[in-house]
Amino acid sequence: MSLGRKLACAALVLVMSASAAANWLAPAGYSKQYREATNAPPSHTHWLGTDEIGRDRFARVLYGTRISLLLAPAAALLSTLMAAFFGGLAGYLGGAWARTAMAVTDLFLSLPWLFLLIAARALMPLNVSPLISVLVTFLLLGLLGWTTAARVLCTTAASLRTSDFVRQARAAGLTGQRLFWMHVVPNLKPVLYAQFWISIPVFILSEANLGILGLGVAEPMPSWGSLLKELEGLVSVGEEPWKFAPLILLAVVVTSFQLLLSKQEEAA
């Protein structure tokens, strides 16, 4: 185990255990408004300061971690599996299948999904618990986020189909499912890992952006996405560097994920 991987593991374990211990580390909770100390700098009572309405930023980061670190990888996994299924299969089958699948993917990439999300919000009741809302949001993200990878996978699978070793495997009598799972899927791994890794932060940020449609976490619940949105008031953030804490944390987590994945990849 390399040093990088050890560090990555340690970072992930630390972040996860800190968020699990949020009740204990930040007993006041994420929604308590210290209205006398709004937008405060870090102090011994508020380690990362407070936000615009006086909520403890440290508590919000910890509780936000629970949601984002659990749901974003889950949604990323969903979209990766969908990409593997559609892209891999289409590329492997080839011919008219591949062409149709790719036309569908191209359409998928171009349609204004914003409106589907708006309609999805309208189908949900207004009095929905914040947790359900965020679950639905990540589910939608997972269901809509597979197209990019599918396209690359289709090309990869198609080139595998005509490659020598698959021909040899065929000649050796391997067919159908076994061939697909044993020889095609493993070679798709680089693309699958890339898709999975990219999707995590992308979904975390998308969740926050969907806030404008009434999707995503509902107030007062925090998520990393909504914390990162604070950075959009950049003109003022420059003077308050502690506001970058969620960004640094997310970057650390994402990097750690990649370091762990890259080892897998070399093994594959």
Partner 1 sequence: MNNLRWKIGGHALAVVATLLLGGLLSATLVRLAPGFDADERELDPHLNTQSVQALREARRHEHNIFHFYLSYLNHSLHGDLGTSLALGQPVRTLLGDRLPLTTRLLTTGLGLAWMLSLTLALSAAWLRLSIFDVFTTVVSGTFLCIPAAVLALLSVLWNLPGSLAIALIVFPRTYRYASNLLVKVYSRPHILAARARGLGEARILFRHVVPVVTPQLLAVAGVSVSVAVGAAIPVEALCGLPGVGQLAWQAALARDLPLLVNITILVTLVTLLANSAADVIGHVVQRREI
Partner 2 sequence: MKRKERQSEMMVAPCWKAIAAAIICLGSLLGCATAQASGELKFCLRTEPKTFNPLKVEDEASGTIRYLTGGVLVRVNRQSQELEPELAQTWKLSKDGRQISFHLRSGLSFSDGTTFSAEDVAYTVQQLMDPALHSPTGDAFRSGTGNVETKILSPTQISIRFPAPVAGLDRLFDQVAILSGHSPKKEMAVLGPFMVADYKAGSTVLLKRNPNYWKSDEQGRKLPYLDSIRLDIQPNRDVEMLRFKRGELDLINSLDSEYFDKLATTSPQLVHDAGASLDSEQLWFNEVAKSPIPKYKKAWFHSANFRRAISEAINREDLSRVVFHGHAQPAAGPFSPANKFWFNAKLKPQTYSPDGALKALQSDGFRMENGTLKDKDGNEVVFSIITNAGNKYRERMAVLIQEDLQKIGIHVNVVTLDFPSLIERMTQSFDYEAILLGLTNVDLDPNGEMNVWLSSSENHQWNPQQKTPETSWEAEIDRQMRAQASSSDLKKRKEAFDRVQEIVVDQEPFIFLINKNALSAVSTSVHGAAPVILSPQTFWNAERLAVSAK
Residues that bind partner 2 (CB under 8 A): 31, 33, 35, 38, 52-54, 118, 121-122, 126-128, 130, 211-214, 218-220, 232-236
In order, the DSSP letters of 197-222 are: HHHHHHHHHHHHHGGGGT-SPPTT--
Looking at the Cβ atoms of 36 and 266, the one nearer to partner 2 is 36
* CB distance 170 to 179 below 8 Å: yes
Name which position in 114, 124, 131, 182 contacts partner 1 (CB under 8 A). 114
Residue 45 near partner 1 by CB under 8 A = no
Looking at the Cβ atoms of 37 and 128, the one nearer to partner 1 is 128
* CB distance 205 to 72 below 8 Å: no
- Residues 180 and 87: their CA atoms lie apart, in Å, by 12
Name which position in 67, 76, 84, 154 contacts partner 1 (CB under 8 A). 154
Looking at the Cβ atoms of 61 and 179, the one nearer to partner 2 is 61
- Residue 53 interacts, among partner 1, partner 2, none and using kind-specific CB cut-offs from 5 to 8 Å, with partner 2
Residue 239 near partner 1 by CB under 8 A = no
**Number of other residues whose CB lies within 10 A of the CB of residue 254:** 16
Tokens in use for 254?
A: 């994402």
**Number of other residues whose CB lies within 10 A of the CB of residue 177:** 8
Name which position in 132, 182, 231, 241 contacts partner 1 (CB under 8 A). 231
Element (H, E) at 143: helix 130-144
- Residues 46 and 267: their CA atoms lie apart, in Å, by 44
- Residue 35 interacts, among partner 2, partner 1, none and using kind-specific CB cut-offs from 5 to 8 Å, with partner 2
Among the listed ranges 14-22, 72-80, 124-132, 150-158, the one in contact with partner 1 (CB under 8 A) is 150-158
Which residues make beta-bridge pairs with 50?
A: 56
- Residue 164 interacts, among partner 2, partner 1, none and using kind-specific CB cut-offs from 5 to 8 Å, with none
**Number of other residues whose CB lies within 10 A of the CB of residue 74:** 16
Looking at the Cβ atoms of 46 and 152, the one nearer to partner 1 is 152
- Residue 115 interacts, among partner 2, partner 1, none and using kind-specific CB cut-offs from 5 to 8 Å, with partner 1
- Cis upstream peptide for 190 (omega within 30°): no
For 95, 112, 234, 256, 259, the CA distances from 245, given in Å and listed in that order, are 50, 33, 14, 16, 21
Element (H, E) at 232: none
Q: Which residues bind partner 1 (CB under 8 A)?
A: 2, 4, 99, 102-103, 105-107, 109-116, 118-119, 122, 147-148, 151-152, 154-156, 158-159, 162, 187, 189-191, 193-194, 197-198, 201-202, 204-205, 208-209, 228-229, 231-232, 234-235, 247, 250-251, 254-255, 258-259, 262, 265-266
